[in-house]
Amino acid sequence: MQNDAWAGGNTPSRPLFTRAPLTCALLVLATLSACTGDQGHLTDITQPKLTALAVADSVPRRLTAQAAATAGVPIRKGESAVVTVQSTSCAAPGDALSVSGAFSATLGTDVCHVTPAAMTFGPATQDGQMVFSVSGPYGTGGSQVSGTYPDFTVSLGDGYGDLDYNDVVLTVHILPCPLFNGTTGDSLLDDAAIQRILDQIWADSHANLPDPQRVEVGGMIVRNPGGSIGFQPFTNSGTQACTIPNIGPDLTAALQANTPVIGIIHTHPEAPGLHTNTGQCTRAGPNGTLYSMHPGVSPADGNALAAAGSYFGSGVRQFVMDADSVYQQTAGSGNNVVTDPAVARSGKCR
Amino acid sequence: MIGYGIPAAFLILGLPGTLQAQHGPDKCGTAANPQAELATFAQALTAPFQVVANNVVRTLQPMAPDETTQVMTDQHACQRVLNAGLKQLRDAGQMKGFQPTGFQHRTYRLGPYYMIAFSDAPPNDVTKPNAVINLSPEFLLFFDVETLEFLGEVMQPG
């Protein structure tokens, strides 16, 4: 903690050992009274901690900025972030709160005294990290990050050197890359966690690369014990451009593990005009070459959903995503599969 | 999905005689919900598709009388298209791509083209542990209606 009272003048009141010059520290055991610092406030001068001060320890710790950890909040291309300062525990004037990395901005220039308003950044132009810092009279402090997507807490030090990481505490809420134009009305498709999964598997499909880098990626959407959404990739995900072979053992394993599978998802890394290469999904006819780009869900995909429905009950969903749309189906009773209207992608993400 | 499986190895050796009979399995196909698929296929024959199709299959003109699309029911015509389609799959070595339960198919008329779609038949028994379930592709083969000339193929990812 360093919310000690501002002692007047232009210099913060601090325990001597943190800001006194080296020469003063050398003399501390012999002439305590002489080491009054530049303000003469020696409230901590007789504390055991100070009396144990040795030469090696006498280097002002606030200058050893490299000792402070620095952590960032991960953010992906297309995502935005809402940053809200939750609390401050500092007193120095002119402490600036800034962010670097994925975004560069100053959120406040006197954060200890004027709490910045919540700010929204984004969308990010590329994958990266948001690194926050507080800089002021003591230098630049480090940061600690806790939490999981989409909510993170960042605890910041101000460089004073006590490594308390409570001088500024802020939260970062990640807004998903808008896969769709507005909400779809579908509770699963509108779920931020699922949109992030879809975004990730699309990125992992490398749709703009030639075969064999271009691959179908997919897996199972599961409900975690705490109710959150999880993703378990298919064992054979990412191995071929036009198929994911044999997902049966994955469904069986989930069933045997009593893992609730609420959906199966995979990509079709296709789009009109996306491919100029020949590859696994193409075949030359006598008059030319037809490229794979037929939209929608293949009959085999429907068969797979029917199988998943037989394992996990009707209502299991299927999402198949290509560059333009997310196609969806729902498992009904008796191996029936209902094809739901496709949802166009916004095109703003990967 | 409802379908009948024809083991791939069986087809490599030759079509069964029953497929030539008038009262055998539906020559026009077995894929479920063909009307819904028809709408998707017709949608595929639009300008963006024509670009990637290298102009082998032209864009349909929805309002023209000869540009109609339909799910085929003419058993004789379907038999000819099925035979031609199977020959193309065999020649291209694509028969081995079907899972052990075989394939299902459905034949369509898309304007001046016949299109036959081949895909995996449904898994035999998904109640068995580790049933073979593939997210496998669908093969769309285009033929000229008048000459039955093979024009080209689109592989729909699975």
Residue extents of the structural domains in chain B: 8-156
Q: How confident is the model over A23-34, as a mean pLDDT?
A: 38
Q: Do B157 and A218 touch (CB under 8 A)?
A: no
Beta-carbon neighbour count of residue A199 at 10 Å? 21
Q: How confident is the model over A329-337, as a mean pLDDT?
A: 90
Q: Would the pLDDT of A300 be above 70?
A: yes
Res B152: pLDDT: 80
Q: Which residues of B touch A266 (CB under 8 A)?
A: 135
Window 301-330 of A, Cβ < 8 Å to B? 301-304, 306-307, 310-311
A265 in contact with B at a CB cutoff of 8 Å?
no
Note the pLDDT tens digit of each residue in A230-258: 999 999 999 988 889 999 999 999 999 99
Which segments of A237-309 are extended strands (E)? 261-267, 283-285, 288-290
Res A236: pLDDT: 96
Q: Would the pLDDT of B38 be above 80?
A: no
Query: When comparing pLDDT for A215 and A1, which is higher?
Result: A215
Note the pLDDT tens digit of each residue in A63-93: 343 456 788 999 988 889 999 999 999 999 9
Note the pLDDT tens digit of each residue in A307-326: 999 999 999 999 999 888 89
Q: Do B54 and A306 touch (CB under 8 A)?
A: no
Range of lowest pLDDT (A130-134, A275-279, B84-88, B90-94): A275-279
Range of lowest pLDDT (A245-249, B97-101, B122-126): B97-101
Task: Give residues with Cβ within 8 angstroms of A190, minimum separation 6.
Answer: A183, A184
| Residues A105, A109, A112, A113, Cα dihedral to 10° | -130
Residue type, A59: V
Query: When comparing pLDDT for B141 and A263, which is higher?
Result: A263
Place A157 in a pLDDT band, splitting at 50, 70 and 90: very high
Place B11 in a pLDDT band, splitting at 50, 70 and 90: very low
Q: Which of B27, B59, B55 is nearest to B151 (CA)?
A: B55
Query: When comparing pLDDT for A117 and A51, which is higher?
Result: A117
Place A280 in a pLDDT band, splitting at 50, 70 and 90: low
Give A128→chain B minimum CA distance, Å. 32
- Cα–Cα distance, A156 to A327 (Å, whole number): 44
Burial B94-118, CB ≥16 within 10 A → b, else e? bbebbbebbbbbbbbbbbbbbbbbb
Mean pLDDT over the full length of chain A: 77
Query: When comparing pLDDT for A7 and A320, which is higher?
Result: A320
A9 in contact with B at a CB cutoff of 8 Å?
no
Q: Would the pLDDT of A52 be above 60?
A: no
Place B19 in a pLDDT band, splitting at 50, 70 and 90: very low
Place A116 in a pLDDT band, splitting at 50, 70 and 90: very high
Res B142: pLDDT: 87
Place A119 in a pLDDT band, splitting at 50, 70 and 90: very high
Window 199-218 of A, Cβ < 8 Å to B? 216, 218
Res B31: pLDDT: 73
Give B58→chain A minimum CA distance, Å. 11
Q: Which of B94, B81, B84 is nearest to B12 (CA)?
A: B94
Query: When comparing pLDDT for A33 and A271, which is higher?
Result: A271
Q: Would the pLDDT of A103 be above 60?
A: yes
In chain A, what are the domains? Answer: 16-59 (no CATH), 65-175 (2.60.120), 192-344 (3.40.140)
**Residue in chain A lying closest to B57 (CA):** A290
Q: How confident is the model over B67-75, as a mean pLDDT?
A: 88
Q: Would the pLDDT of B128 be above 90?
A: no
A220 in contact with B at a CB cutoff of 8 Å?
no
CB A194 within 8 A of CB A229: yes
Q: How confident is the model over A266-286, as a mean pLDDT?
A: 59
Q: What is the pTM of this model?
A: 0.68
Which segments of A143-224 are extended strands (E)? 143-148, 151-156, 168-175, 218-223
